[in-house]
Chains A and B, each alone.
Chain A
């Protein structure tokens, strides 16, 4: 297999728990520099898929490689320099300020003892500016609104300066306006920096809006993969989300829209 950039390569990687298959063995490749969206109904294995990539859980079959290297062969910090992961539910931050939390993103680079270098400081500053958090740097994260807090976690991932961002429903707690804002931010980062993104997204319209590559999971199986235009078709979506789903085809500047009949 040829290597160009640190792509994810799954070779028969699957996961089961308690005798139940949660993710059937998958063989696929995710290219860095692209935004891959994972869609599918609840319990389809999206989060499990993401956790496998993030090395939060280990596959019980097959292997996962990053840039040709098996995931277990990375050290803790070395892996975090390649892959940043944001879980669906971000934890309480124990009174930490925005500045402090975002700075933790640099742990993978300076470790427990290393001094915080000018490069570390620059990365934190840039992440904070990028996520439009300059006004909040000294505020406790817990005191921010849901949307602001989400931006802080994304800023922390940016400060990590990894090649991959893995996001599990990054906008689940947000209203439509904030969702667009956050996802556009992530998408523009992927384009500008050649970062790879894998995001679990609940909203298929949102996925079609920002992703280059959409993977649809159902019952632990990959049932469809393609670009936004390929996915936005009733015959693809109905098996996943039920018979009421329909698609309004794109028209002029308006993209295709999925709606419930």
Chain B
């Protein structure tokens, strides 16, 4: 690992921050002077009460995020841990959104509300992964799932409260606009207290880095130390979220940069993380302000950090030697095999059951009823969702076998969001384009995303963690583009918001027919690749030794998976997680051969989607909740249960 020259990096970053601040200052004064007709006093007030606090806020919040992540990474010994990946920020955000809508009085204490949300999320994630000894990948996946569920929940509340709440979404994207020194000083005070706490914990933390057994042998109460440090990190994350919303990537990038600058001692790294965090966030915010001055667009800073941080992570990932901690290396579970026929038959029966429930059972004004009267209009919906669920199950199986990684899925790798990026390009450049053009854009987006990822891992080696970090980074990068579009408040933005939390299209007989045609077209195509799909998980070397034309095969499979993902997200949104769960479920039922695995995943995907949608319609009757929320809940629950039972996911 070649060290970056730390001092130069810091000097360059400081220079860039100063230059950006100066440029922004000139433009701000220019704008204010024009509006206030040369009123210098007004300009001075503006500088003192808006511009300077914002710069200070960027520095303080960046430092808080950097410190919070450094603490989490140290205590969990997980280089991917940070408030965003653990779901802390999203948990805080959900709590704040709910409080704003349902309990406005509580918003007098935003940090407390945010802390409650973030702490609940942290407890959930850690409890689910305790049995796996907080294995990094399990923690991150559970965290992502929690994060997505919370985000979907927040989006649901925002959608249900009407479009005047879109402002909440802008805040959710991380907004550093200030109108005084209050928030900055509050956060600075918290940062100061947390820094003092960190100083006290430095020595025990250094011991903990050696490993649990060693730390215990040295007389350290590892359990309570963990709890205290995590609480500190959660507090920092919650306070930051309460003041400026969700700002991702700073937490991931700052400690990573500290590590890669060649700083050796763990104490110095702990100190460097907040410094890099402060610099990164102020850089991003300066860039956002500059963009605002130049174009008049108001982009959330959180979107910009992902825009800067995403490529940064992608560039740094190859330099991470190895993330897997040898002491918690999961022992490969040998998945049992069953003969495919009976299992597939059972899955088909379960699917029939799901279809029957969705067609017949419902809630009306008079309570539950069970009658075939509504079958006609429900049929279109059920067949649309069933076909879409089967497609995402298919895409998930292909992606897992392509990458040889059972944790991969179109959702985890950002392929679904990639479809959204393609969609947003179509929505913006051709607002009146038909569904065919939109679907084409989505397919282009998802195929491009998956291709970039595969090219990336091929160049840098297929490591499970590397692929997932690259996927998470790419996904966040793309979703920051989506967030930027959504916050423009245009019709395109509102459609994207709807798509993220569930569905782009209204169920109709013709839509259902279209989805069924895509499913019927792709199924034989993917089954043709059954043998290559058995060979590919063995890795590039073996696949080539066996005579597989790997490049051409991968390309075709990427096209199939991309098309299936894009089509399914039309109906169920990008974040259903059914693409992760369905292949998993099929696999754990003993379906090991590719053809059986594919069909099993498609059947379970269809059943899960139909059930998730039925629940979304029934739980809060007469309101319909977003399908994505329920799918994420089902997926998150499934993963949590599996992790909690200590099995290898």
Contacts and interface: CB of A to CB of B under 8 A. Distances in A.
Real binding pair: yes
A100 B529 contact: no
Contacts, number: 81
Contacts of A104: 531, 534-535, 538, 546
B295 interface: no
Interface residues of B, number: 27
Contacts of B528: 112-113
B544 A76 contact: yes
A243 interface: no
Interface in A155-169: 160
Interface string B597-632: 000000000000000000000000000000000000
Interface in B515-532: 528-532
Nearest to B537: A94
Contacts of B23: none
Contact of A108 (B534, B541, B546): B546
Contacts of A107: 531, 535, 546-548
Nearest to B587: A95
A261 B545 CA distance: 41
A90 B543 CA distance: 12
Contacts of A160: 546-547
B547 A93 contact: no
A108 B543 CA distance: 10
Given A87-B542, A140-B337, A80 B332 contact: no
Contact of B544 (A55, A78, A91, A143): A55
A80 B334 contact: no
B404 interface: yes
Nearest to A84: B545
A93 B532 contact: no
A76 B546 CA distance: 8
Nearest to B541: A87
A80 B547 contact: yes
Interface string B548-560: 1110000000000
A116 to B, nearest CB: 10
A160 B549 CA distance: 16
A126 interface: no
Contacts of B332: 92, 142
A93 B538 contact: yes
Contacts of A95: 334-335, 337, 587, 592
Interface in A79-107: 79-81, 84-87, 90-97, 100, 104-105, 107
A201 B176 CA distance: 63
A207 interface: no
A87 B550 CA distance: 17
Interface string A131-154: 000000000101100000000000
B334 A81 contact: no
A54 interface: yes
Contacts of B538: 91, 93-94, 104
A76 B547 contact: yes
A188 interface: no
Interface string A34-53: 00000000000000000000
A117 interface: no
A193 to B, nearest CB: 19
Nearest to B533: A112
B544 A112 contact: no
B1 to A, nearest CB: 15
Nearest to B401: A94
A54 B545 contact: yes
Nearest to B546: A107
B539 interface: yes
A112 B531 contact: yes
A78 B528 CA distance: 20
B226 interface: no
A46 to B, nearest CB: 16
13 contacts: A56-B545, A76-B548, A76-B550, A81-B547, A84-B545, A87-B542, A93-B538, A95-B337, A95-B587, A95-B592, A108-B546, A160-B546, A160-B547
Given A100-B593, A143-B334, 8 more contacts: A75-B549, A87-B542, A91-B539, A91-B541, A95-B335, A96-B534, A107-B535, A112-B532
